[in-house]
């Protein structure tokens, strides 16, 4: 029976996942460790609004379990040593250097974890891959653990995470499925059962899928590929709708009513963002290339190409509509996060749209309820398109949506925050330059309402 868990990585997955696990398994002590001391200090903050991940419902749960059976710490070695089971929940971003740059997953953090576990461990442990990893990573981890350890026996499981940001707590509490992959040996199956018993505290057994370790690793990458593919599919149609007077929201409703297709993940948008879809698709494409499966690689690569096209098409449409120039014009951005109910901005479409408009010398004022100004500058600077100084001059963040929109030529909606629907749009219109344009990258506003107020309204695909 597992009594003590260590989770390496206190990020968007490690934090919420372990909080829910601690909440549902009061008899297990869980320590979440990270090498980022600031992040750990924030998780331990007395002010629960300061915990580093904004996620509806998360702060309340942390309040409930932190200090009881959930602990956040920088003492990685100690937590590894004490644990029976170790989750590796570290980041696996797209590699930015050397072999596979721009495509492969960078596994240096995972390798570091494995080496640390091997170095520190004195008794047998179950090591769980929680991070999203290329298929067959468990083989590399096994090799590290078996060859540098203190003759300790490790079992390696794959237990990918399927939560989506903004709905993480609900996704964790009511998961469609939990996937656990392991070696099909006696010891491997016993380890699978240990982890199954933990999830069975709150997930019905029939929703806990047990597979071999490779199927589990591959299923995570491909689940994200399928989800992203749906968005690129509907976004491709949005371009066609704009040329034909079909309305993409009506088309999505009509095709989604077919139970074989289903109605979820058919919202046309400025494009998908987030830390994982693009990274995992690139990784899948890279794996297929590496295995000589060129046609398969190219098939999935199209999903990324369509997403890039959509972001570019949206930004380009803004410039074309604003009489082919946004130079020195004020443009208001509502939203910077990659989706609502999160403070995460990784791969947010907003930064690509901003980058394109800044190139055309626009002045952009951004309002986002949860994203900090520092984060916004860090995002735009990371694109390396122009000097930090120029970015600071042309791009600003304000703490009030009305201020962002005041005297703007256009309002651009980049994130579907609910509060944007509730704004006083008449007041916004009154205070804008005329004609006043709205580019609704999330299709959250009603065309009729906006036109009645005098706006020149542009949705996606309608
Ligand atoms: P994140 O960047 O928010 O968190 C990762 C944390 O790991 C960081 O705080 C980092 O400091 C820490 N870390 C890295 N190496 C370490 C080491 N050797 N020792 C101690 N700490 C270390 O990343 P995330 O969004 O939580 O994603 C983690 C993994 O989960 C990724 O593989 C991702 O693909 C996958 N995933 C993410 C989501 C999501 O919604 N964000 C959902 C499902 C799966
Ligand atoms: C996604 C998956 O949904 C999770 O199952 C997975 O665990 C996670 O990736 C991961 O591996 O990181 P996430 O990226 O947090 O979760 O959020 P999503 O809800 O999937 O949204 C991703 C992007 O697609 C957002 O920019 C969102 O606005 C966009 N999107 C989503 C659309 O444009 N249209 C849709 O219909 C749905």
Which distant-in-sequence residues (6+ apart) come within 8 Å of 139 by Cβ?
Answer: none
Ligand 1 pocket mutation pick from 32, 58, 90, 165 by most atoms within 8 angstroms of CB: 90
- pLDDT tens for 327-362 read 999 999 999 999 999 999 999 999 999 999 999 999
DSSP 66: B
Distance 377 CA to ligand 2 centre (A): 23
Element (H, E) at 61: helix 58-65
Q: Ligand 2, closest atom to CA 265?
A: 36
d(CA 109, CA 249): 41
Taking CA 365 as the corner, what is the angle to CA 386 and CA 329, rounded to the nearest 5 degrees?
A: 80
Question: Checking phi first, is residue 112 left (phi over 0); if not, alpha (psi -120 to 50) or beta?
Answer: alpha
- pLDDT tens for 353-391 read 999 999 999 999 999 999 999 999 999 999 999 999 999
- pLDDT tens for 114-162 read 999 999 999 999 999 999 999 999 999 999 999 876 789 999 999 999 9
Ligand 1 pocket mutation pick from 7, 37, 91 by most atoms within 8 angstroms of CB: 91
d(CA 4, CA 82): 7
209 neighbors 125 (Cβ within 8 angstroms): no
Q: What is the pLDDT of residue 151?
A: 85
Q: What is the pLDDT of residue 149?
A: 65
Task: Tell the residue nearest (CA) to atom 19 of ligand 2.
Answer: 164
DSSP SS3 for 299: helix
Q: Ligand 1, closest atom to CA 9?
A: 7
Q: What average pLDDT does the segment 244-258 reach?
A: 97
Q: What average pLDDT does the segment 177-193 reach?
A: 98
Instruction: Return the percentage of the chain with pLDDT > 70, whole number.
Output: 100
Ligand 1 pocket mutation pick from 6, 7, 8, 9 by most atoms within 8 angstroms of CB: 9
Q: What average pLDDT does the segment 76-80 reach?
A: 98
Task: Tell the residue nearest (CA) to atom 18 of ligand 2.
Answer: 164
404 neighbors 333 (Cβ within 8 angstroms): yes
Q: Who has greater pLDDT, 203 or 151?
A: 203
Distance 48 CA to ligand 1 centre (A): 21
Q: Ligand 1, closest atom to CA 112?
A: 18
Distance 414 CA to ligand 2 centre (A): 15
Question: For tokens 């953090």, what's the residue?
Answer: 109
Distance 357 CA to ligand 2 centre (A): 25
Q: Ligand 2, closest atom to CA 344?
A: 15
- pLDDT tens for 387-439 read 999 999 999 999 999 999 999 999 999 999 999 999 999 999 999 999 999 99
Q: What is the pLDDT of residue 147?
A: 86
Q: Ligand 1, closest atom to CA 130?
A: 30
Band the pLDDT of 17: cuts 50, 70, 90.
very high
Distance 15 CA to ligand 1 centre (A): 9
What is the CB < 6 Å shell around ligand 1?
8-14, 33-36, 39, 76, 89-92, 109, 112-113, 131-132, 161, 163, 165, 275-276
Q: Which two tokens stand for residue 109?
A: 């953090």
User: Which residue pairs, CB below 8 angstroms and at least 24 apart, start in 406-409?
Assistant: 406/431, 406/432, 407/330, 407/431, 407/432, 407/433, 408/329, 408/330, 408/331, 408/332, 408/365, 408/432, 408/433, 408/436, 409/322, 409/326, 409/329, 409/330, 409/331, 409/433, 409/436, 409/437
d(CA 82, CA 75): 11
What is the CB < 6 Å shell around ligand 2?
132, 161-165, 224, 227, 231, 265-267, 269, 272-274, 276-277, 338-339
Distance 276 CA to ligand 2 centre (A): 8
Q: Ligand 2, closest atom to CA 416?
A: 28
Question: For tokens 């080496």, what's the residue?
Answer: 115
Q: What are phi and psi of 373, to 5 degrees?
A: -65, -40
Task: Tell the residue nearest (CA) to atom 37 of ligand 1.
Answer: 13
- pLDDT tens for 259-298 read 999 999 999 999 999 999 999 999 999 999 999 999 999 9
The ligand whose atoms approach the alpha carbon of 352 most closely is: 2
d(CA 462, CA 452): 17
d(CA 197, CA 7): 18
- pLDDT tens for 111-125 read 999 999 999 999 999
Query: What's the number of CA atoms in the CB half-sphere (13 Å) around residue 195?
Result: 29
208-212, strands of its sheet edge to edge: 70-73, 29-33, 4-8, 85-88, 125-129, 154-158, 178-182, 208-212
Ligand 1 pocket mutation pick from 11, 37, 56, 128 by most atoms within 8 angstroms of CB: 11
Active-site amino acid positions: 161, 220, 276
Task: Tell the residue nearest (CA) to atom 21 of ligand 1.
Answer: 34
């Amino acid at each position: 029976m597992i009594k003590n868990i260590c989770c390496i990585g206190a990020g968007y997955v490690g934090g919420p996942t372990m909080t829910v696990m601690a909440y549902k398994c009061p008899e297990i002590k869980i320590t979440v460790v990270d090498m980022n001391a600031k992040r750990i200090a924030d998780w331990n903050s007395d002010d629960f609004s300061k915990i580093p991940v904004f996620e509806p419902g998360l702060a309340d749960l942390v309040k409930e379990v932190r200090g009881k059976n959930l602990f956040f710490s920088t003492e990685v070695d100690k937590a590894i040593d004490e644990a029976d089971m170790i989750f590796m929940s570290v980041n696996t971003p797209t590699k930015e250097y050397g072999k596979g740059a721009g495509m492969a997953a960078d596994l240096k953090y995972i390798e570091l974890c494995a080496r640390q576990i091997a170095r520190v461990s004195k008794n047998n442990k179950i090591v769980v891959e929680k991070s999203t990893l290329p298929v067959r990573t468990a083989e590399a981890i096994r090799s590290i653990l078996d060859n540098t350890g203190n003759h300790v026996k490790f079992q390696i499981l794959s237990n990918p995470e399927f939560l989506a940001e903004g709905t993480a707590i609900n996704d964790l509490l009511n998961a469609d499925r939990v996937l656990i992959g392991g070696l099909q040996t006696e010891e491997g199956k016993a380890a699978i059962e240990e982890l199954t018993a933990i999830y069975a505290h709150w997930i019905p057994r029939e929703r806990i899928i047990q597979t071999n370790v490779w199927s589990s690793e591959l299923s995570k990458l491909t689940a994200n590929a399928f989800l992203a593919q749906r968005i690129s599919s509907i976004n491709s149609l949005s371009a066609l709708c704009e040329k034909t007077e079909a309305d993409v929201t009506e088309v999505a409703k009509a095709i989604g009513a077919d139970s074989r297709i289903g109605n979820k993940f058919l919202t046309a948008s400025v494009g998908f963002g987030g830390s994982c879809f693009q990274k995992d698709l690139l990784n899948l494409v890279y794996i297929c290339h590496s295995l000589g499966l060129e046609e398969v690689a190219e098939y999935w690569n199209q999903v990324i190409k369509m997403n890039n096209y959509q972001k570019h098409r949206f930004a380009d449409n803004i410039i074309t509509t604003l009489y082919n120039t946004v130079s020195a014009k004020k443009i208001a951005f509502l939203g910077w996060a990659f989706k609502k109910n999160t403070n995460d901005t990784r791969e947010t479409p907003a930064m690509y749209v901003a980058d394109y408009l800044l190139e055309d010398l626009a002045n952009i004022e951004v309002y986002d309820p949860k994203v900090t100004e520092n984060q916004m500058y860090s995002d735009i600077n990371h694109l390396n398109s122009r000097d930090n100084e120029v970015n600071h001059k042309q791009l600003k963040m304000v703490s009030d949506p009305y201020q962002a929109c005041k005297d703007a030529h256009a309002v651009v909606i980049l994130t579907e925050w609910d509060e944007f629907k509730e704004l006083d749009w008449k007041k916004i219109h009154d205070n804008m330059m005329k004609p006043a344009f709205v580019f609704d990258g999330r299709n959250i506003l009603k065309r009729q309402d906006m036109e009645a107020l005098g706006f020149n309204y542009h949705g996606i695909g309608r």
